[in-house]
């Protein structure tokens, strides 16, 4: 083969790039499952924590966060199955996957050392969550997720101005705006395009 037959015309190059972007968008739109699952888990945990602190004498309200353990198991099983089903993964898929893995790694020290900050990590987590959510929205060209990322940032700043107990309410609202609404809209878009 000579070099001329291997090179693409500008139109073919553009078509190839657009095809790769559509493939990545299709693959990443499967992420609606994760946004919905984790949205509900974190909303329930935030509201549970708020309710237990405000209305009970229970000494270990943070135990409500143990609901994240089965959610992690479901996430791993679902992700593994989706990985086997997916025929092709694009470079954007891999970038998005590593973005969210990096997000999890960044959260780990806050979770491990949560007692050092008296369980007041909502503002930090919301602000950190804004980045991968926003970037995923940009990669998908999906405005509700972009706005979800922005809302995490804004609610994170608001949390710094609230009492530690009220931060759990703000956290629940932030997750509803940043994960649940975009997650359900992404799912509806995916189902409409199938």
Question: Is there a domain that residue 2 lies in?
Answer: no
Question: Is there a domain that residue 4 lies in?
Answer: no
Q: Which of 31-45, 101-115, 153-167 has the lowest mean pLDDT?
A: 101-115
Question: Is there a domain that residue 55 lies in?
Answer: yes
Question: Is there a domain that residue 1 lies in?
Answer: no
Question: Is there a domain that residue 168 lies in?
Answer: yes
Its domain, for residue 138, covers: 12-193
Question: Is there a domain that residue 5 lies in?
Answer: no
Question: Is there a domain that residue 3 lies in?
Answer: no
Kindly report the pTM of this predicted structure: 0.82
pLDDT digits (tens, 9 = 90+) for 128-139: 999 999 999 998
Q: Is 149 left (phi over 0), alpha (psi -120 to 50) or beta?
A: alpha
d(CA 98, CA 82): 16
Query: pLDDT at position 124, please?
Result: 93
d(CA 107, CA 125): 7
Query: pLDDT at position 6, please?
Result: 63
How many other CB atoms are found less than 10 A from the CB of residue 44?
16
Q: Which of 24-28, 58-62, 113-117, 136-140 has the lowest mean pLDDT?
A: 24-28
What is the number of domains present in the chain? 1
pLDDT at 57 over 80: yes
Say what angle helices 143-160 and 122-140 make with each other, to 10 degrees: 170
Query: pLDDT at position 146, please?
Result: 97
pLDDT at 2 over 60: no
Question: Is there a domain that residue 6 lies in?
Answer: no
37 CB contacts (<8 Å, ≥6 apart)? 71, 74, 75
145 CB contacts (<8 Å, ≥6 apart)? 35, 133, 134, 136, 137, 182, 186
Of residues 192 and 42, more confidently modeled: 42
d(CA 27, CA 146): 18
């Amino acid at each position: 083969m000579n070099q001329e037959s291997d090179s693409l015309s500008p139109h073919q190059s553009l078509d190839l790039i657009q095809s790769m972007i559509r493939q990545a968008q299709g693959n990443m739109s499967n992420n609606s499952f994760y946004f919905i699952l984790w949205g509900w888990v974190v909303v329930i945990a935030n509201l549970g924590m708020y309710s237990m602190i405000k209305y009970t004498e229970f000494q270990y309200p943070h135990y409500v966060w143990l609901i994240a353990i089965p959610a992690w198991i479901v996430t791993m099983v679902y992700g593994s199955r989706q990985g086997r089903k997916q025929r092709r993964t694009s470079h954007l898929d891999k970038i998005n996957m590593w973005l969210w893995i990096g997000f999890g790694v960044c959260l780990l020290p806050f979770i491990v050392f949560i007692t050092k900050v008296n369980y007041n990590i909502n503002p930090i987590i919301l602000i950190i969550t804004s980045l991968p959510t926003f970037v995923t929205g940009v990669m998908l060209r999906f405005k509700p997720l972009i706005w979800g990322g922005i809302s995490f940032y804004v609610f994170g700043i608001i949390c710094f101005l609230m009492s530690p107990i009220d931060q759990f309410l703000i956290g629940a609202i932030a997750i509803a705006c940043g994960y649940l609404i975009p997650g359900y809209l992404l799912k509806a878009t995916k189902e409409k395009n199938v």
